[in-house]
Structure 1
């Protein structure tokens, strides 16, 4: 069972799939504790906040309510909602707290592509076809370490930056990682001008890519 905080259809605003129509599944639960997290409502799983999936889909504001769903129920919901997008992004919270193989495989079997957005602090349980975005969270309050296995599995590594120390953290993480088949992105935290200028400079220096959270500039989910 997957504890779903949100399901909605929009445009992917980050990384390699920027501009692609996508269905987002936001799962409840995350112990990592990023100070700048913009989805803190997903951190805790409070049994008293369990709702029906109908109530969750009908949300008009961010809340910590969630609904327990099987992979089959999630697929049925896509059909009932008449979603047209064929790319599914599983995020959180920390989605890799869950075994995502059953959900992703069912979606693949029904014509969808899948993408996971993870902090890299939990083992990634997903099919080989699933695109994995690791946004490594270093020295966060929860005390979780970024796993080398997660960096190795990543198709893209998208690192949030505000200061030069964040770039140094990424460089240190990549020492033991073969990046020849990976895309490396820097993503300015909260669209701060200083952070954006730093990210542009470092992307130019290292031949990395810039991810600017297009959805926030557009004012969409």
Structure 2
């Protein structure tokens, strides 16, 4: 069973799949504690906030409510809702608190591609063909360390930046990681002008890529 905060179909707004139609599965629970997190409603798992899956799908606002959902129920929901996208993004919260192998394997068997968005602070349990986006969270309030195994597994590293120290953090992480076959993105925190200018300058300097959270500029989920 997976604790699901919301499921919705939209356009992926970040990283290498920017612009792709996607179904998002947002899982509940995250102890990492990022101060700028824009999904803080997914941090806590409280039994009194549990709802049936049907009520989760029709939510019209961000809430701490979640549903306990099986793999079979997730697949049935896609059919019931008439989702057309064939790319599934599993996010959170921190999705790697869960073993994602059963969910991803079931999705692959139905012709979906899968992507995980994780902080890199938990072991990644997912099939080899799942695309893994590690957005490394360094020195956050929860005290979790970015795992070397997560950096090694990543297909792309998407680092949130607002100031020079965030660039220094990323450079230290990359020193111990072979990035030959990985994509490296900088993502300005909260679309701040200074952060965006810094990210652009560093992308030029290190030949990295820019991720600008297109969905926020468009005003969509």
Tell me the residue number matched to 1:105.
105
Task: Report 1:26-175 matches (<5 A).
Answer: 26-175=26-175
Cα distance in 2 for residues equivalent to 1:174 and 1:191: 24
- Aligned to 2:215, what secondary structure does the other structure show? helix
The reply to whether residue 210 of structure 1 matches residue 194 of structure 2 is no
Cα distance in 2 for residues equivalent to 1:136 and 1:70: 28
Cα distance in 1 for residues equivalent to 2:100 and 2:154: 15
Cα distance in 2 for residues equivalent to 1:134 and 1:61: 27
Runs (5+) with no aligned partner, structure 1: none
**Ranges of 4+ aligned residues in structure 1 off by more than 4 Å:** none
Cα distance in 1 for residues equivalent to 2:109 and 2:167: 39
| Post-superposition offset of 1:93 | 0.1
- Aligned to 1:16, what secondary structure does the other structure show? helix
Cα distance in 2 for residues equivalent to 1:139 and 1:59: 33
Cα distance in 2 for residues equivalent to 1:135 and 1:72: 29
Cα distance in 1 for residues equivalent to 2:150 and 2:100: 14
CA RMSD of aligned residues (A): 0.3
Question: CA offsets, 1:126-157, max 9 Å, x none?
Answer: 00000000000000000000000000000000
- Aligned to 1:29, what secondary structure does the other structure show? coil
Cα distance in 1 for residues equivalent to 2:132 and 2:33: 21
Cα distance in 2 for residues equivalent to 1:164 and 1:202: 10
| Post-superposition offset of 1:72 | 1.0
Cα distance in 1 for residues equivalent to 2:173 and 2:160: 13
| Post-superposition offset of 1:68 | 0.3
Runs (5+) with no aligned partner, structure 2: none
Task: Report 1:170-181 matches (<5 A).
Answer: 170-181=170-181
